[in-house]
């Protein structure tokens, strides 16, 4: 289990291949360093994660902006764990993209329960279609509809979920 005071830290190259992992990542993912480094970061992708969330993540990072998201990961031993992820592009001194840096921490249970329900809707949209691109398009449209129904941008939605109702 991820402790309250622990951070999972990884770095990848621009293609998402792991170049650094901390010991917490290795423990939580049930990997050894030699099994992790040089492998795609998505080796811990849980099948319950909607592809639309990764589309949002990559589109945000391509704009060289940071992104926050709730993510469920799958360890190689079959265990799963939720994280509150913060991913940033890493730039060299000339502003060129050299990779990505991600910190993850243990999320509060209430936002996880709320986002898990939305993720279930998105995955259901993906499964309604016979092919992968159509499923992604449907899931993406549903995510955008959820945000429109709430009158929020993704960032506004994320922070409202994370910080709880306004008091």
Query: Looking at residue 22, which CATH number applies to its domain?
Result: 3.30.450.20
Number of domains forming the structure of the chain: 1
Name residues whose C-beta falls within 8 Å of residue 8's C-beta, 6 or more positions apart in sequence.
2, 22, 24, 25, 28, 83, 102, 103, 104, 105
Q: How far apart are CA 148 and CA 167, in angstroms?
A: 23
Domain of 26 in residue numbering reads as: 8-163
pTM: 0.93
Per-residue pLDDT of 115-166, as tens digits, reads 999 999 999 999 999 889 999 999 999 999 999 999 999 999 999 999 986 5
1 within domain boundaries: no
Containing 105, the helix (H) or strand (E) segment is: strand 97-105
Per-residue pLDDT of 51-93, as tens digits, reads 999 999 999 999 999 999 999 999 999 999 999 999 999 999 9
Separation of CA 153 from chain center:
17
Are the C-beta atoms of residues 126 and 139 closer than 8 Å to each other? yes
34 within domain boundaries: yes
2 within domain boundaries: no
132 within domain boundaries: yes
Are the C-beta atoms of residues 42 and 138 closer than 8 Å to each other? no
Give me the pLDDT at residue 60, please: 96
146 within domain boundaries: yes
């Amino acid at each position: 289990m991820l402790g309250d005071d622990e951070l999972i830290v990884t770095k990848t190259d621009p293609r998402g291949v792991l170049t650094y992992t901390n010991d917490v990542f290795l423990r939580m993912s049930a990997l050894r360093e030699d099994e992790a480094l040089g492998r795609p970061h998505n080796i811990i992708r849980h099948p319950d994660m909607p592809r639309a969330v990764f589309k949002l993540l990559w589109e945000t990072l391509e704009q060289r902006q940071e992104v926050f998201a709730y993510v469920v990961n799958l360890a190689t031993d079959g265990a799963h764990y939720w994280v509150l992820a913060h991913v940033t592009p890493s730039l060299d001194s000339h502003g060129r993209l050299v990779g990505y840096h991600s910190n993850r921490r243990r999320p509060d249970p209430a936002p996880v329960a709320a986002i898990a329900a939305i993720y279930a809707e998105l995955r259901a949209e993906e499964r309604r279609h016979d092919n992968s691109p159509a499923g992604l398009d449907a899931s993406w449209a549903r995510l955008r509809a959820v945000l429109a129904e709430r009158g929020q941008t993704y960032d506004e939605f994320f922070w409202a979920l994370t910080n709880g109702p306004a008091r």
